[in-house]
Amino acid sequence: MKKLIFTLAAAAVALTSSAQHYYTNANNPEMLHIGTPRTQQRTNIVIPQINGYNVYKADLHTHTIYSDAHVSMTVRLAEAWRDGLDIYAVTEHAEYRPHEKDYIKWLKGYLPEETKAENYNIVSKKGNKNGIRVDLNLPYQLATKSAEKYGITVIPGIEITRSPSKVGHYNALFIKDANSIYDADPEQAIRNAREQGAIVMHNHPGWTRKNLDMIAFEQRVYDQGLIDGVEIMNGTEFYPKAIDRAKQYNLFMASNTDIHHTTAELYAANGELRDMTFILAKDCSLESIREALEAKRTLAYSFGTVAGDEELLRALFLASVKFTPTQSNKERSYIQLENNSSIDFIIRQAEGANTVVLKRHSSILLRCAKGEGKQITIENLWCGADKKIVIDISSYLK
Ligand SMILES: [Zn+2]
Ligand SMILES: [Zn+2]
pLDDT at 9 over 80: no
Pick the CATH number of 54-308 from 3.40.50.1820, 3.20.20.140, 3.30.450.40, 3.40.50.720: 3.20.20.140
Digit-coded pLDDT (tens) for 100-144? 999 999 999 999 999 999 999 999 778 898 889 999 999 999 999
Q: What integer is the mean pLDDT of 89-94?
A: 98
CA separation for the pair 134, 69 (Å, rounded): 16
The bound ligand whose nearest atom lies closest to the alpha carbon of 61 is 2
**Residue-level pLDDT at 344:** 98
pLDDT at 398 over 60: yes
Ligand 1: distance of its center to the CA of 204 in Å? 7
CA separation for the pair 170, 181 (Å, rounded): 12
Question: At residue 199, what are phi and psi to the nearest 5 degrees?
Answer: -100, 135
**Residue-level pLDDT at 37:** 67
Long-range contact set of residues 221-226: C-beta below 8 Å, sequence gap at least 24? 221/170, 221/187, 221/190, 222/249, 226/187, 226/190, 226/191, 226/194, 226/200
The bound ligand whose nearest atom lies closest to the alpha carbon of 91 is 2
Ligand 1: distance of its center to the CA of 238 in Å? 15
* Helix, strand or coil, per DSSP, at residue 380: strand
Digit-coded pLDDT (tens) for 49-82? 999 999 999 999 999 999 999 999 999 999 999 9
pLDDT at 323 over 80: yes
CA separation for the pair 268, 82 (Å, rounded): 10
Ligand 1: distance of its center to the CA of 201 in Å? 11
Across all residues in the chain, what is the average pLDDT?
A: 93
CA separation for the pair 82, 102 (Å, rounded): 30
Ligand 2: distance of its center to the CA of 123 in Å? 12
pLDDT tier at 369, thresholds 50, 70, 90: confident
Q: What integer is the mean pLDDT of 346-366?
A: 94
pLDDT at 11 over 80: no
Digit-coded pLDDT (tens) for 180-199? 999 999 999 999 999 999 99
Ligand 1: distance of its center to the CA of 89 in Å? 14
pLDDT at 396 over 60: yes
pLDDT at 13 over 60: no
Range with the lowest mean pLDDT among 5-9, 176-180, 355-359?
5-9
Q: Identify the helix (H) or strand (E) that includes residue 103.
A: helix 100-106
Ligand 2: distance of its center to the CA of 349 in Å? 39
pLDDT at 349 over 60: yes
> Which residues, at least 6 apart from 231, have a Cβ–Cβ distance to it below 8 Å?
61, 201, 202, 203, 204, 205, 239, 242, 254, 255, 256, 300
For residues 369 and 332, the answer to whether their CB atoms sit within 8 Å is yes
Ligand 2: distance of its center to the CA of 182 in Å? 16
| Nearest of 61, 300, 67, 308 to residue 201 by alpha carbon | 61
The bound ligand whose nearest atom lies closest to the alpha carbon of 62 is 2
The bound ligand whose nearest atom lies closest to the alpha carbon of 93 is 2
For residues 276 and 303, the answer to whether their CB atoms sit within 8 Å is no
Ligand 1: distance of its center to the CA of 254 in Å? 14
Torsional class of 304: left (φ above 0), alpha (ψ -120 to 50), beta (otherwise)? left
For residues 229 and 201, the answer to whether their CB atoms sit within 8 Å is yes
pLDDT at 6 over 50: no
> Which residues, at least 6 apart from 192, have a Cβ–Cβ distance to it below 8 Å?
180, 181, 182, 183
Q: What is the pTM of this model?
A: 0.93
**Residue-level pLDDT at 201:** 99
pLDDT tier at 16, thresholds 50, 70, 90: low
pLDDT at 18 over 60: no
Ligand 1: distance of its center to the CA of 169 in Å? 5
Ligand 2: distance of its center to the CA of 200 in Å? 14
